[in-house]
Structure 1
Amino acid sequence: MGKSVRFLYGFTEVVFFNGNAIEQDGYGGENLSRYGDVVVCSVNHRLNVFGFTDLSKVGGDKYRDSGNVGILDLIAALKWVNHNIKNFGGDPTNVTIMGQSGGGSKVSIIATMPAAKGLVHKAVALSGNSIKAANKKISEELGEYIVKEAGLKASEIDKLQEMPWEDYYELANAASKKFNIENKNSGHRGFSPVGDSRNIPSGTFFEPTDSTIPDIPMMYCTVKEERNPNRDNPELENISLNGVITKLRPQYGDNADIIVHTYASSFPEARPIEVWGMLTGVRSNVVRSANIKSAQKSPVYMAWFTWQPPLFDGRLRAFHCLDICFWLHNTDIMLTHTGGGKRPMELSNKMSDALLAFMHNGNPNCKSLPNWPEYTPENGEVMIFDDNCIVKNDPDRKARKVLENIINTSTVKD
């Protein structure tokens, strides 16, 4: 995972594949600790083939948790926090987990794990979320396939642990690619936590009738242009709406026209390049996750970060990872992201205030922001973080629904 406030965040790139706890200075927790009354802990854990190779079918009971050791590393860290954080001024009865990107998915998973109940009390998922773990049957089949590709019998499975890590990494990833080619409809998309019905539910997360799993306040946030298409291509800055349609036609076919025009009409102030940017970070997944989480009793809060830095003639926009340094009060040490100074710090103060309030009370409302209502599937209440912070009711619902309906009734290329 990565760092976190009161405990951990998961700033891992490419979901569960790689990354570490302090990839950028903006991920550090010192400034937030100084700004508010919190103790920040950062953790690393096993990723990729080392954290999520499911060898349980071929290896038996000894390997029954092998598909989830990466996420169980985080449970072990939470247990350490529970037993030791008081020595550092922390409160083991008030632990918040926080993660971004792949870390947001890990936060979602931990928040539904029986082993986390009583160890975690609030959760914050940024630009990443999950409502279902990897299929157990497919994960087991891949594990068997890896053993076969290694030229080993089931009785020789322990030899995998004797391999140099580089060799096992290459072996398992090559086997995964080969497995996908031979099983095109398997649904396997990489090494990730497995729904084994013991550590992680095999069905949809946050089941409201399951008393064995946590039921904790949760906050979701995404950024407006997760992967802005012209960040490194200034020639696209003045692209026309028809140009955007042309660029998206390989992905959406003839539906590109209606998708682009629906987003443009929903956000009439947005330039064509900004419409394209929004389509790189459609909020469908986070809204779906929030709707499912809302079935539990604990409150859910939603945010949308739309602030754009002045750098590179404004081309950076609200890009994936930008909001992290705002939450953690680190805008002045991330000049490459924010430009530094008064303007980003004013927003950072508001976002840090909200985060601290949520960590302390399970409610992000604070004096520096307008009233932030709980999220409901009916209204889609969302706090818009920008120079002027305001609450809106699901501002992209119409456009999002058009896109979702097209995807659900068409074959859309990845």
Structure 2
Amino acid sequence: MPDVTRTSLVIATRDGEVRGHGRGDVVSWKGIPYAAPPVGPLRFRAPRPPEPWTGILDGASFGAMAPQGRDGPVPMDPSIPIDEDCLTLNVWAPTPDGVRRPVMVWLHGGAYVLGSSAQRIYNGRNLSHLGDVVVVTVNYRVGALGWLDLSSFGTDDDIFETNIGLRDQIFALTWVRENIDAFGGDSANVTVFGESSGGASVTTLMTSPAAKGLFHKAIAQSAPATSVYGPERARVAAERFLELVDLTPERAGELRTMPVQRLVDAAEKLVYEVPEKVPGTLGFAPVVDGDVVPRYPVAAFQKGFAHDVPLIIGSNHDEASVFRLMKSPLMPVTSDTVSTMFEAIAVDHPDLSPARIADILSAYPDLPKSAGALALSRDAGFRMPSLWIAEAHCRRAPTFVYRFDHATPVLRAARIGAGHATELPYVFGNFGTFDRDPTFWLGGRKAAQQVSRRIQRRWVAFAWHGVPAALDGSKHWAPYDERRRTLVIDGRDALVEDPDRELREIWGEKVLGFS
């Protein structure tokens, strides 16, 4: 018989009471404000505490998505509104019974310009139920409203702060620390995890002094961790954004009253312009501001400045494959765009020798073909940043490295394979969340569900104990050390010793300027 038991449960937070809804033994509280609406004078400012509410907030529905276009490469539920008043989070938890459970806080991806905690693929019910954990998913500001650095155009009376989206994430983690015990969570056992720009947010938070102590473990999935702006590049992007909205730097304050759709439209133009000029770069990303982000994150890891918390980090076997299907030139997928990317790197990093660049390019003999360009983009954007971090962090804290290789028959046939973000339904146990989802058109459902169960058990074991050993007797996952053992996740998991040796020899330990 299907589980039809319904649950309604009111929880008191620091700002007011919120009613949760559930079925079976998992309850959800959706759309909880963790910060004040960032509108008017609070636009482009760090988050502020929300005003306490009276009565009981009904947590039956998700909050609004952060302002963004609806026609992006990732389908969004048209029933979810878009609004600047977007700083909300959602909680899934087993019915509180006095037991304190681990907390897993999810930061969604989307190249820092799109995405929402309301996406169906991120529904936390299955993960909460399987792992007996509390799952929190977070909205934060994206695009220009979250990641445009206007700080150099501010005045003492009209301040623009840096890294707004990252400050939102830190504010949400602070809310978790102060409130999650009421939901049955253990505020002393918080794991932050994310994918793509969410994964890079995780690696950046690991080097941010403002985030110290707010989480105790971290999981970074497919993190473009080197995609971080320096102050000068951030200023150039901000100046171009002002041009797109017909403002001079002296009139930057008018952005606070400008219609939000105009800001979204300008941000979308900038998102396409930047990688067209310099392939492999992002229109918006964290900024090294000397404050929230004091150093380039990968360099901070290598110099021992990262928080010494246990870390799972990895990437997918065919990360770049999906980018050849998109209109955005975000990732270079042809030999010409790869060459343009390296030319830009050489300009920004004059100490980088042409010989080293030539050695890297020559290591990809298929570079003139699409397969070679995709492989180089995969390694430059995702695999090598993960390895650089793992090599450094394993000397300070337990570190576990994976490579996700699993693909269903239709994804293999479509030459997508284990592409970027294809591991997400496995982590959350949510397949079929897109309309006309093709994932199992040629079969493979049973195998995928088995892979999903193993991943989920490893992730929640890590949240519980800091060690991602499987709970069902499958392959033990040894930590990354001088043997560089890596878990290759597929129909059958394999613990492989140093599968990336050739890559490390090609790219070396010096971080290239993919930022």
- Do these two structures clear the TM 0.5 threshold for a shared fold by scoring above it? yes
Relative to structure 1, is the Cα distance of residues 62 and 136 closer, same or farther in structure 2, using a 3 angstrom cutoff?
Answer: farther
Task: Note the alpha carbon deviations across 1:160-188, whole angstroms, 9 max, x for none.
Answer: 1010012233456667988999xx89x98
Shift in Å, 1:147: 5.1
Q: Check conservation: 1:107, 1:123, Cα contact below 8 A.
A: yes
One of 122, 126, 131 as aligned partner of 2:221: 126
AA of the residue aligned to 1:80? W
Relative to structure 1, is the Cα distance of residues 284 and 145 closer, same or farther in structure 2, using a 3 angstrom cutoff?
Answer: closer
Q: Check conservation: 2:193, 2:220, Cα contact below 8 A.
A: yes
* Paired position in structure 2 for 1:397: 501
Map 1:3-402 onto structure 2 (within 5 A). 6-13=103-110, 15-23=111-119, 25-61=120-156, 66-131=161-226, 133-140=228-235, 142-143=237-238, 146=241, 150-152=246-248, 154=250, 156-171=251-266, 189-203=282-296, 204-206=299-301, 210=305, 214-228=307-321, 248=335, 251=338, 259-260=363-364, 278-282=375-379, 283-295=383-395, 297-311=396-410, 314-315=413-414, 316-331=416-431, 336-338=438-440, 339=443, 341-368=445-472, 369-376=474-481, 378-399=482-503, 401-402=505-506
Shift in Å, 1:408: 9.8
Q: Check conservation: 1:112, 1:205, Cα contact below 8 A.
A: yes
Q: Check conservation: 2:432, 2:439, Cα contact below 8 A.
A: no
Distance 1:49 1:193 in 2: 11
AA of the residue aligned to 2:229? A
* Paired position in structure 1 for 2:4: none
Relative to structure 1, is the Cα distance of residues 275 and 22 closer, same or farther in structure 2, using a 3 angstrom cutoff?
Answer: farther
Q: Check conservation: 2:207, 2:307, Cα contact below 8 A.
A: yes
Distance 2:359 2:491 in 1: 34
Q: Check conservation: 2:104, 2:133, Cα contact below 8 A.
A: no
Shift in Å, 1:333: 6.0
AA of the residue aligned to 1:383? L
AA of the residue aligned to 1:293? H
Relative to structure 1, is the Cα distance of residues 189 and 175 closer, same or farther in structure 2, using a 3 angstrom cutoff?
Answer: closer
* Paired position in structure 2 for 1:241: none
Q: Check conservation: 2:411, 2:417, Cα contact below 8 A.
A: no
Q: Check conservation: 1:81, 1:92, Cα contact below 8 A.
A: yes
Distance 2:490 2:275 in 1: 42
Distance 1:95 1:127 in 2: 20
Relative to structure 1, is the Cα distance of residues 89 and 75 closer, same or farther in structure 2, using a 3 angstrom cutoff?
Answer: same
RMSD (Å) for aligned C-alpha atoms = 4.1
Distance 1:120 1:180 in 2: 33
Relative to structure 1, is the Cα distance of residues 408 and 89 closer, same or farther in structure 2, using a 3 angstrom cutoff?
Answer: closer
* Paired position in structure 2 for 1:268: none
Relative to structure 1, is the Cα distance of residues 48 and 276 closer, same or farther in structure 2, using a 3 angstrom cutoff?
Answer: closer
Q: Check conservation: 1:131, 1:205, Cα contact below 8 A.
A: no
Shift in Å, 1:320: 1.3
Q: Check conservation: 1:249, 1:256, Cα contact below 8 A.
A: no
AA of the residue aligned to 1:19? G
Task: Note the alpha carbon deviations across 1:123-168, whole angstroms, 9 max, x for none.
Answer: 11111142573212332454456557744563x4432101001223
62-71 vs 299-308, greater mean Cα deviation: 62-71
AA of the residue aligned to 1:18? L
AA of the residue aligned to 2:228? A
Q: Check conservation: 2:191, 2:216, Cα contact below 8 A.
A: yes
Distance 2:337 2:284 in 1: 28
Higher relative contact order (CA 8 A, sep 6+): 1
Shift in Å, 1:30: 0.7
Shift in Å, 1:189: 4.4
Runs (5+) with no aligned partner, structure 2: 1-65, 67-88, 93-102, 326-333, 341-357
AA of the residue aligned to 1:336? P
AA of the residue aligned to 2:293? I
Number of aligned residue pairs: 380
* Paired position in structure 2 for 1:238: none
Distance 1:262 1:398 in 2: 16
Runs (5+) with no aligned partner, structure 1: 233-246, 264-271
Give the structure with the higher percent helix. Answer: 1
Relative to structure 1, is the Cα distance of residues 10 and 345 closer, same or farther in structure 2, using a 3 angstrom cutoff?
Answer: same
Distance 2:362 2:112 in 1: 34
Three-state SS of the structure 1 residue aligned to 2:321 is coil
Distance 1:231 1:169 in 2: 24
Shift in Å, 1:116: 1.2
Q: Check conservation: 2:226, 2:385, Cα contact below 8 A.
A: no
Distance 2:286 2:315 in 1: 22
Distance 1:188 1:258 in 2: 22
Relative to structure 1, is the Cα distance of residues 273 and 4 closer, same or farther in structure 2, using a 3 angstrom cutoff?
Answer: farther
AA of the residue aligned to 1:301? F
* Paired position in structure 2 for 1:266: none
Distance 2:496 2:275 in 1: 42
Relative to structure 1, is the Cα distance of residues 180 and 59 closer, same or farther in structure 2, using a 3 angstrom cutoff?
Answer: farther
AA of the residue aligned to 1:299? P
* Paired position in structure 1 for 2:328: none
